[in-house]
A and B are shown apart, each in its own frame.
Chain A
Amino acid sequence: MSVTDTSPAPAAAIQDGLAVLEQNKSTAETFGIPLAVLAEMTHRCPLQCPYCSNPLELDRASGELTTEEWKKVLSELAEIGVLQIHFSGGEPTARKDLVELVQHASDVGLYSNLITSAVLLTRDKLAALADAGLCHVQISFQGNEPIIADRVAGLKDSHRKKIEVAKWTRELDLPLTVNAVMHRQNLHQLADIIQMAVDLDADRLEVANVQYYGWALKNRAALMPTLDQIEETTRIVDEAQARLKGVLTIDYVVPDYYALRPKKCMGGWGRQFFNISPTGKILPCHAAESITGLEFESVRSNHSIAWIWQNSEAFNRYRGTGWMPEPCRSCEFKEVDFGGCRCQAFALTGDAGNTDPACALSPMHDAIFKQAELESAGASNRFLYRNFAGGTLEAGDDGA
């Protein structure tokens, strides 16, 4: 007897969910409906993290899907076979109807996860979400103490508030994931962050090195870790994973600039994941709108979500392996990593159809590796904070 882990985690799929759950089909050809979908309820957020995964051009509140539209979406997702819904943002608790929507997700049989900065939550609000059937809470942390954490978040007192909400989460018997986004300016706190997650009685810790698209790409010079830091990070994570087995699960996302092989981004474009933007666009990943020239269809269109997933031009453009140029086309790893990340290829080469430069076989790999090394040793630690005004540069001078 066995229980196979099919990990539909949206960030960096560790194993392949569809391969396990759809054994009778050729998943590379059929593109079954994803197990989990990310719902970005809003782009509004009280935090201003310089590595935010939202697009540079943020959706305004006036364009957001209404309560009734989200309910219809949730029902449709459950109907077509989605099993889990991640309520994310922006900050999902900025939506006044979140409890109602979590309740609706429960009513239609979706397993719900809240991905939150936590700073807007009260204990009563969290209890109401738990009563509505919320299954899991993931709280982002920017460090293990307020000096760095509040500075990265661009919000005073945010770290203390997060700790408080994390404690309520466990008091309410909800499982807790601590999401720690790591970069040059906080990697030295990693060991303490791991201990913080243990002390908070978290079930799981995501040690997620920043991925450089959108806001993070604009802040790359202030965020890029050094190679020494990455080696130390890997050592700390390996040691902690062994020591904390059965106590804390640690998932580790490596920074791909220093990798030899690209990540299997989103498990492959249009292959096992989509997200829904605040205005209802169905996207192959949360950064996909950064690729200019692709049209993304909306839940407000006349098409069903399943139709958009299966038939829309944007999903089919980079699906499978048929679109690949060399060196991907003849590469033995093409169905392992699916050519890496389309958004990164677009951001760094100007063409989303190129090999992700994170791959050692990309003609640009050496150049981006050297660029990363150069920036990691650079003098600028100033952030460009994420906001609706196109970003605000951190006060102070450039001296590190």
Chain B
Amino acid sequence: MAGPRHISVSEESRPVLPRHAKLKFDETRQVWVILAPERVLAPDEIAVEVLKLCDGQRSVGQMVDMLAEKYAAPREAIATDVVAMLQDLADKGFLTQAREKTS
């Protein structure tokens, strides 16, 4: 059956790109893209870094911790940005959560 969609992103979420949203490096244009139905999205450098962390295991909170440490930046500011970006993708249907069951 269809996986859970249209999630509300919080620091507890463990998001992952669904199989119809593919993060790919476009060799021709030398940029990262997300391929989605009828869409090609162009994530910026930091968004790509965040999306690479979205493996369905790691929580958004853990990602924020990693980024805050790496960039020595205020945690709250990063958390706000990360949650907003991921929520925007989720609203468009290009981000989902890991399934509860692993069958």
Q: How large is the interface on B (under 10, 10 to 19, 20 to 34, 35 or more residues)?
A: 35 or more
Contact of A177 with B by CB under 8 A: yes
CA–CA, A3 to B87, complex, Å?
11
Q: A358: CB under 8 A from chain B?
A: no
B29-53 vs A, CB cutoff 8 Å, 1 = contact: the mask equals: 1010111011111111011001000
Could you tell me the distance in whole angstroms from the C-beta of B57 to the nearest C-beta in chain A? 20
Q: Does A175 contact B (CB under 8 A)?
A: yes
Of B1, B20, B27, B38, which one neighbours A171 at CB under 8 angstroms? B1
Contacts of B29 in A (CB 8 A): 21-22, 32, 81
**Interface assignment of B19: CB less than 8 Å from any CB of chain A:** yes
Q: Residue B82 contacts which of A1, A21, A245 (CB distance < 8 angstroms)? A: A1
Give the docked Cα–Cα distance between A171 and B3 (Å): 9
Of chain A, the residue at the smallest CB distance from B82 is A1
Q: Is the CB of B47 within 8 A of A2?
A: yes
Cα of A32 to Cα of B29 in the assembled complex, Å: 9
Check A135/B1 contact, CB under 8 A, given A3-B47, A20-B42, A84-B40.
no
| Docked complex Cα distance between A4 and B33 (Å) | 10
A interface, size bucket:
35 or more
The distance in angstroms between the C-alpha atoms of A177 and B90, with both chains bound, is 17
B91 at interface by CB-CB < 8 Å: yes
- Determine the main DSSP class of A at the interface with B: loop
* Closest CB in chain B relative to A298 CB, distance in Å: 23
Tally of A-B residue pairs with Cβ under 8 A? 110
Are B47 and A21 within 8 A (Cβ)? no
Does A28 sit within 8 A of B, measured CB to CB? no
What mask results when residues 230 to 262 of chain A are scored 1 for a CB within 8 Å of chain B, else 0?
A: 000000000000000111010000000000000
Q: How far is the CA of A84 from the CA of B21 in the complex (A)?
A: 12
Q: Which residues of B have CB within 8 Å of A173? A: 1-3, 19
Asked whether B50 lies within 8 Å of A83 as measured between CB atoms, the reply is no
Does B100 interact with chain A (Cβ within 8 Å)?
no
A5, A81, A138 interface centre (most CB from chain B within 10 Å): A5
* Given contacts A83-B33, A135-B37, A177-B37, A3 and B88 within 8 Å (CB-CB): yes
From B2, B18, B20, B40, A83 is in contact (CB under 8 Å) with B40
Residue numbers in A under 8 Å from B18 (CB-CB): 175
Among residues 1 to 52 in chain A, which have CB atoms less than 8 Å away from a CB atom of chain B?
Answer: 1-9, 17, 20-22, 32-33, 35-36
CB of A1 within 8 A of CB of B47, answer: yes
Pair B41/A4 contact, Cβ less than 8 Å: yes
Indicate with 1 or 0, residue by residue over B3-27, a CB within 8 angstroms of chain A CB atoms.
Answer: 1011000000000001110101011
Among A3, A246, A247, contact of B41 (Cβ-Cβ < 8 Å): A3
A113 within 8 A of B: yes
**Contacts A/B (CB < 8 Å), 12 sampled:** A1-B43, A1-B47, A2-B44, A3-B42, A6-B40, A20-B42, A81-B29, A84-B35, A109-B24, A173-B1, A203-B37, A247-B6
Sample of 16 more A-B contacts, CB < 8 Å, known A2-B44, A2-B47, A20-B42:
A3-B34, A6-B33, A6-B41, A17-B40, A21-B29, A21-B31, A21-B33, A80-B28, A113-B37, A135-B35, A171-B1, A171-B2, A175-B18, A177-B38, A201-B2, A246-B6
